[in-house]
Structure 1
Amino acid sequence: MNELLKDIESLAAAAGAAIMEVYESDDFGVDHKADDSPLTKADLAAHEVIVAGLKKLTPEIPVLSEESADIPFEERQQWNQYWLVDPLDGTKEFIKRNGEFTVNIALIKAGKAILSVVYVPVTEVSYSAAVGEGVFKREGGKKSSICVMKNSRFKPTIVGSRSHMSDEVKAYLERLGQHELVSMGSSLKFCLVAEGKADLYPRLGLTSEWDTAAAQCIVEQAGGQVVTLEGEPLMYNTKDSLLNPHFMVFGDKSRDWVNI
């Protein structure tokens, strides 16, 4: 598992390099998908790097990527394990050039993420985790283990979406009371919780499974939880739709974050 994780870290970095080539150019080639979400040359370049790399590393394991997601559930439900990929999470942040975008690669087995990498191309920071192997942050050539804030702050730090702050989240935060709000793009919101810099990420809006899987593994291996509003862990490839239910990401399990 350790060797595979190292290979996936290298693959994520290679995808990040492909993204940065576009990021540093004058032409993002912005297009729009059927749901009006943006698509750039960088999304496609990273997708091609990752899919080719995974097919070489693990030819027997299927790949589901945001940029090749039209695989019928009848086929997907036969998979015991598969790679779930978001080649460029935070395309809106990429277009804004604020650096808050990531490469997400997760290995899913029986509905759960068991190995993952979240890579930040602009800073070359990576987060990696595997069940039974721990969770690590690699920054500036240094690798360190990370852990959630197990006892939440009296005035909790809440991380919210920079581009998708819903009315439901705003109402939730009003009910929560005193808090400090940090806005962040992409799966970096999960990572802030995983390394103890935030107490909670409430997501009361639409996300897709590739948006969350890699970062969920990071959070869970750091001692946190990612649960639906019914208190159940977020699961993968269990239904026809690839949309997630609303969910909460937190470190302090003794506090009821859902019923506020």
Structure 2
Amino acid sequence: MKSRYYLLLAVLLSLAPPRARAQRVLLRENVAADTIRPTFGPNRAYFSHVYFGYGLVAGRSSREGAELRYGSSAEVQLGLRNKWRLNQRLALGLDGRYARPVYHLAQTSTKVLPDPVLHRREYLALPQLQSEALLRLSYGRRGNAIGRYVDVVGWGGWVLGSVHHTEDSPAAGSRKIQTAQRGLAYVNRWSYGTGLRLGSGRYALAGRYRLSNVFRPAYQARYPELPRWLLGLELSWL
């Protein structure tokens, strides 16, 4: 009689819905407490991002003979910036970039750079590989975001190449005449300077001052030094 009772009870339990069956907890975890704190992010221990910059050459040449066409004379930059946070306010940074400054020469009667010959269009291009170190002061509330900041920077670069480009009125049977002289002997191979950057999120205003001379010592008496200031904008890919 008892065996029949136990058999009936076993059948009833097997037919019961899953929620009605007793379950034993084998493992209990708190996932939030076990997660490793992330270290990569805009306002975390380490962050890196790509940026694009465009700046206009500003200021004057050291003397007459190397006047520029302002608005056309500019520098384009594309780089990768790395940042290490020291605390909530201070951070250090290091970046590498490609920069291409171009100086469009005004065609005036006093021109001596690189010679007095006048052209319809003339410029010097000095593409460079540059590196920049920065000290960043952040301010305001921002959470895990870049926020608002001020960078004090020092930079240096190696001139990859140098080009003197001219364009003249067309001769018979042609639309225009262009010349390009490369590997200019009078251009320095190294450049360096300092600067300041004021940013908010992905946008920044940047000002840079070149301490080095464009021309080698042997040519500095012959050629006026080009303007040293560069003022522009940066757009970061965050």
TM superposition score normalised by structure 2: 0.26
Structure (1 or 2) with the larger CA radius of gyration: 2
Q: By percentage of residues, which structure has more helix?
A: 1
Q: By percentage of residues, which structure has more strand?
A: 2
TM superposition score normalised by structure 1: 0.24
